[in-house]
Structure 1
């Protein structure tokens, strides 16, 4: 099998993972804003996410001959390694729950703030756990100041969301009452014309300028998850839950591939990263399928009820959803490959994905356009703290023997 051994190779994997993991959330957000039901989107995403794990296992996991110390992927499938398999599957369940929660949080909190808060929580909890699991191969004097910067970024992210919500309320209050009431009433009825073609982005011919009150009302009318009238703390609660789930998946994967708790029988080799990733993705897929099919018939947050037949017939935007699964699958795989070489605490530097997501959020979705000076100051401070935290975290990279 192919193994990343050098620190340079590990950092290259992390940087590539960063670009993939920062882009796929923007793709799913784009579909929700164009009216596609998140249950349909997540089912499509889950399929390609699993297929990527299978592809990686049968390519990188099968390169070269198998040895007793480092068996190939197919060899490990028949070995008695179930304790570590369960750790890998637990990590997949945590990731699936986190991804599912963020899909709803993006609508309430915005792509940029959601990604910063969840990623920072992931680092604060997950990196600390990985540091001790990896036998402290990362430099603590560099690592933990970086973790502290992420903690500050969480607080700033919450403040950005609160300030931006207040800005949006002022914009909506400036609308004439009759216009606001009429638009709010229409938001209950899905507007088919506004989300005609999600693949090509064809929608209403008349678009309001990003950041205006009219833009917010148009967005509410066309999006799948309605947010007007809902408390701003609902989004933050979902976001913090997602961050807690994300903080557990890399430590679980670390335990699966390195068996620090000595759960395997003597003489049985550790799970190679590709085998662990396969089981990790399989459990992620199963949980996603169970929960999202349930949400088809018992939707949450006021979404309309649908069915599995409706999902199968919903091809509008499916290509984007499948692409998101591919990006996330390769991003996670590259993160684990880099983490196995340089330490999973340092690999958590891919949580810099909000830097990529914020770029897409501002470029594609007009987030923070025409906001107050206070919001801009908080946003810049949050991103600056995040950049500093990522740089410090990467500098703590060690080398696994």
Structure 2
């Protein structure tokens, strides 16, 4: 099997993982804003997410000769390593719960703030756990100041969301006043024209991003309705997702390095690719079970649907498949880099909100026409985040095989 051994190779894996993991949330958000049901999208995403793990295992996990000490992927499937397999599968379960939660949090809180808060919580809790699990191979005097910067970013992220929510409320109140006066300030077509929302003819009437008209049109189109709901719901979902994300990497660390000595003597540690396969299988199973239930018993007042409707829904399916591949390969690259340089340093891929914020502003018009206070908080949040990521990467160590 192929093993990343150098610090430079590990950092290259982290950078690629950062790009992939920062892009797939934007694709799922795009589909939700176009009205595709989140249950349909997540079922599609889960299929290719698992397929990515299988591809990685059958390629990188099978490269080179296999030995008793360093078995390839297929050889490890028949070994007595179930204690480590359970850790890997536990990591997949909490990751699946976290990803599923963020799909709803994006609607309430926005792509940018959701990613910043969840990633920062992941670093504050997960990186600390990984530091001790990795036998302190990362430089504590650099690592923990980086963790502190992430914690500050959490607070700034919450402030950005609160300020932006107040801006949107003010815009909608202005719209209500104008409507009561009898002026038609929105360009939203009647319900009979909803099928033409993305047509070329309608594009000329499309309201500008950040306006009250834009917010109303978005609410009419999207599959998860947020108007009239408390922002506390969105923040609660976001923080729950962050706690889930903070546990999957330490669980994977235990699966591949057996720090608690649960394996029998003579049984080799799980290779990254084998652990990632089991990790993805459990992630897939939880996602399928929960989303099939959500088809018939949706949460947050989402529309009901059926499995037959899901199978026949090809609107945006390609984007959902692509999102699953990006997330799967991104997670695999993160684990490959973490096994070489320490999982605490690999948490630098939690810089993904920098990529997500770029897509949020470019694709969705987030923060357009917001107040100066919101802009100031947003810039402060991103700057703090960049500092935190740089410090975290600088703490990279090198794992030595015993």
- Once the two structures are superposed, the pairs formed by residues 36-185 of structure 1 within 5 Å of their partners are 36-177=36-177, 179=179
Say whether the 8 Å CA contact 1:183–1:217 is kept in structure 2: no
Distance verdict in 2 for CA 1:194–1:119, change over 3 Å: farther
Distance verdict in 2 for CA 1:266–1:42, change over 3 Å: same
Q: Residues of 2 paired with 1:336 and 1:183: CA distance?
A: 51
> Deviation of residue 17 (structure 1)?
0.3
Aligned residues: 397
Say whether the 8 Å CA contact 2:91–2:252 is kept in structure 1: yes
Aligned-partner SS, 1:371: coil
* Alpha-carbon displacement from aligned partner over 1:270-319 (angstroms, at most 9, x marks no partner): 00000000000000000000000000000011111000000000000000
> Deviation of residue 193 (structure 1)?
1.8
Distance verdict in 2 for CA 1:359–1:117, change over 3 Å: same
Residue 327 (str. 1) matches residue 326 (str. 2): yes
Distance verdict in 2 for CA 1:211–1:290, change over 3 Å: same
> Deviation of residue 237 (structure 1)?
0.3
Structure 1: which 5+ runs fail to align?
A: none
- Once the two structures are superposed, the pairs formed by residues 2-401 of structure 1 within 5 Å of their partners are 2-177=2-177, 179=179, 192-193=194-195, 206-401=205-400
Instruction: Select between 201-210 and 164-173 the one with higher mean Cα deviation.
Output: 201-210
Q: Residues of 2 paired with 1:196 and 1:377: CA distance?
A: 33
Aligned-partner SS, 2:261: coil
Q: Residues of 2 paired with 1:41 and 1:190: CA distance?
A: 25
> Deviation of residue 191 (structure 1)?
6.8
TM superposition score normalised by structure 1? 0.96
Say whether the 8 Å CA contact 2:175–2:185 is kept in structure 1: no
Distance verdict in 2 for CA 1:301–1:347, change over 3 Å: same
Q: 4+ residue runs of structure 1 moved beyond 3 angstroms?
A: 176-184, 186-192, 194-197, 201-205
> Deviation of residue 179 (structure 1)?
3.9
* Alpha-carbon displacement from aligned partner over 1:161-207 (angstroms, at most 9, x marks no partner): 000000000000001458489999x999797425568xxx9975521
Distance verdict in 2 for CA 1:271–1:34, change over 3 Å: same
Aligned Cα root-mean-square deviation (Å): 2.0
> Deviation of residue 115 (structure 1)?
0.1
